[in-house]
Structure formats: C-alpha cells, structure tokens
Amino acid sequence: MAFASLSSTLSAPSYPVIVHCHLRWDFVWQRPQQFLSRLSKKHRILFVEGPTLHDEEMEPCFTLTPAPDFPNVTIMQTHFPASRFHDGAWVDAERRRLVDEAIKGPLKGKFERPVQWFYDPMAVESHLGHHNAVATVYDCMDELSQFKFAPPVLIERERLLLAAADVVFAGGRKMWQSKSRHNPNAHFYGCGVDIAHFGKARLSSCEMPEDIRHLSGPILGYFGVVDERMDYDLIAKLSEANPAWNIAIIGPTAKVNPDDFPRAANIHWLGGRDYSELPSYTKAFDVALMPFALNEATEYINPTKALEYMATATPIISTPVPDVVSNFSTVV
C-alpha cells in the first residue's frame, strides 16, 4: 500500500482493528495493552490470542469476552487439541476459520475492512491477506525467534510479515535497526508509561502491601515476567553480597521452573500481582532492579519497566542490555 493511501486509512475516524498476539490480554499489562487500550477509545479492537491447547480431543472453538474496563476491546480465545498441534497447515487453516466465523457470526458488521495488527509472526499464514483487511501493521516488541522454545519457522514467517507490512513499529532502538533492513517504513516507537498510575507510589496515601511492608532492611525489588531473560546467578550473588538486603521479585513465571530459582532467607519470590497493585509494591523498593541476563533473549529488549520505575522516582540499577544503555544510561 502506498504511504499516502496508508495515511488515509489510518486517519479514518473509526476503522476496526484485528490484533494477532502471542500474549494473553490478562497476563501482564505491557506494550499491547498500553497501545490497544488507547486505540480502543476510537476504534473497535478484536484481540485474538494465540491458541490454548487442551489434552482432550475436541474440535477447535473460540470464545469472545469483553475486556474489563475497555468496552471497545473484545478478547478472542481459541482452543485446540494438543494432539493435532503438530499439523501446522491444519492449525493455520483452523485459526483463519475461527476468526472468519467470529467476524461473520457474533461480530458481524463490526470488523469489516479492518486493519490487521500483528504481534505474532506465527499468525501470518492464517491471517495475512485475509479478512478483507485494508492495511497491515507489525508491532515488533521482542525478537521472538531468540526466545526459548521458539518454532523454527518463526524466522521465515516474520520475513513474510516484514515484507508485507505497510508499517512496522519496533519497540527498541536496536530492534528498529534490525527490522528497518527488511521494511523501509519501519520506525523506532518505544513503550510509554502511565505516569499518573505509577506516580501513586510517591503519594503518602499509597499504602505498602503487608507481604512486603514487614521486611526489615533495604528492599531491592523487581516486577515483571519471571522468565529466561532474568539472571538468576546475579540474584543469588546479590543475596549473598549482603544478608541485610531483601531481594523482592514480583511477577508470574513463564518457561522457567521455580524449583531452579535461588533460595535464601532474604530472597522473596512473591508471585504475580495485579497491575493496579504495582505502585504500592514499588513504593516499598529502595532500589528497583532490572537484573537481566546478557543472552539472546535480551539482545533486543527495551524494558517497559524502566519508564514505570522512573515514574515512581525509585533509583534504578540494571545490567547493561543494549537498549537500556542507549536510552537510559544517564538516569539508570
């Protein structure tokens, strides 16, 4: 699509958006939710999550649920039998069929001539060029091919998406440098921050939760997904460096085994907490941590939490992942 035509499409007052995302809407509030919750003020959003697999034999099906607090966002969850998920061509066809059924059935008339917005390159074979889409957006937030358990075909599918996308947004500077080699209309567009929300940590009326308030001594805290991007050896060494320090880790786990986490009296694995609670937990932090490992999974990350920590006015310490160094080295 020519740039003038794309600009005309995206400036239309009420075009609908079909989003294909590898993440769950209700998992951790991050880039997709930031952008799409704001877009939903003017546009209908169909947020299609990646397939949920089930052990029992079943026909693929879907559910539609309104997103809490965002009436213009509909969450579509698809369900597949794990026994057939090895059949890529069948899975791709079924994923397309389910979205077609949704937009021609219960959502009829609400997602005609949509913009398709991709986070998940694995959805390309199912949806790119389908559903009567008028434009294609690729919002690249992670180098998913370098994550644990990434499908081998992901690289090829992302190349197809980069070639076909009318516009590409990259969440990090290094990511933009990589993706702009494959699409001339690629742009570095970092995440934002809800300053009013995270700024609550600076208010005297913000109360610290009991499970962190009782800790005595300085608290070195982290919130976010607990996964392969974290440096667990570093966390253990921080714990050993000063037993008076409390290392508080807040967040759900993904693709890691909690049995392998370092354990000590001053390491506190608190688990996931609701987005609404994060300012009150951060208020308890003396230092906010970004203890990322320096590996393939972190080569291209531009952590959203850097800005969120800044909004709480908490001192930040990070390992030197490239985008933290290039974007925030004067304050982190």
Residue 8 tokens read as 């005309």
- Closest among 222, 246, 253 to 319, alpha carbons compared: 222
Which helix (H) or strand (E) is 26 found in, with range?
A: none
CA distance 96 to 60: 11
What pLDDT score does 14 carry? 79
Which three-class secondary structure state does DSSP give residue 63? strand
Q: Which of these, 135, 71, 128, lies nearest to 99 by C-alpha position?
A: 128
Ordered by where they begin, the domains of the chain are 3-188 (3.40.50.2000), 195-328 (3.40.50.2000)
pLDDT per residue of the chain (332 residues) written in tens, 0 to 9: 544 456 555 566 679 999 999 999 998 899 999 999 999 999 999 999 999 999 999 999 999 999 999 999 999 999 999 999 999 999 999 999 999 999 999 999 999 999 999 999 999 999 999 999 999 999 999 888 788 778 889 999 999 999 999 999 999 999 999 999 999 999 999 888 999 999 999 999 999 999 999 999 999 999 999 999 999 999 999 999 999 999 999 999 998 999 999 999 999 999 999 999 999 999 999 999 999 999 888 988 899 999 999 999 999 999 999 999 988 988 88
Angstrom distance (rounded) from CA 186 to CA 168: 4
Nearest CA among 303, 325, 124, 129 for reference residue 227 = 303
Give the CA distances from residue 276 to residues 73, 86, 88, 281, in Å, rounded to whole numbers and listed in that order: 19, 38, 38, 10
Please give the pLDDT value at position 10: 58
Angle subtended at Cα 247 by Cα 246 and Cα 251, rounded to the nearest 5 degrees: 135
pLDDT of residue 144: 81
Where is 131: in which H helix or E strand? none
Name the strand (E) or helix (H) holding 238: helix 232-241
As a residue count, the chain comes to: 332
CA-wise closest residue to 248 among 205, 291, 206, 207? 291
Using one digit for the tens of pLDDT, what is the confidence trace for 240-286? Answer: 999 999 999 999 999 899 999 999 999 999 999 999 999 999 999 99
For the chain, where are the E strands, in sequence order?
A: 17-21, 45-49, 52-54, 61-67, 70-81, 115-118, 135-140, 167-170, 186-188, 219-223, 246-250, 267-271, 287-290, 316-318
Q: What pLDDT is attached to residue 146?
A: 81
* 22-32 confidence digits (pLDDT tens): 999 998 899 99
Supply the pLDDT for residue 148. Answer: 77
Quick one: pLDDT at residue 297? Answer: 86
pLDDT of residue 1: 52
* pLDDT reported for residue 120: 96
Q: What is the pLDDT of residue 3?
A: 47
Beta bridge partners, 289, equal: 317
Instruction: Tell me what pLDDT residue 129 has.
Output: 95
Q: Which two tokens stand for residue 48?
A: 């299609």
What pLDDT shows up at residue 12? 62
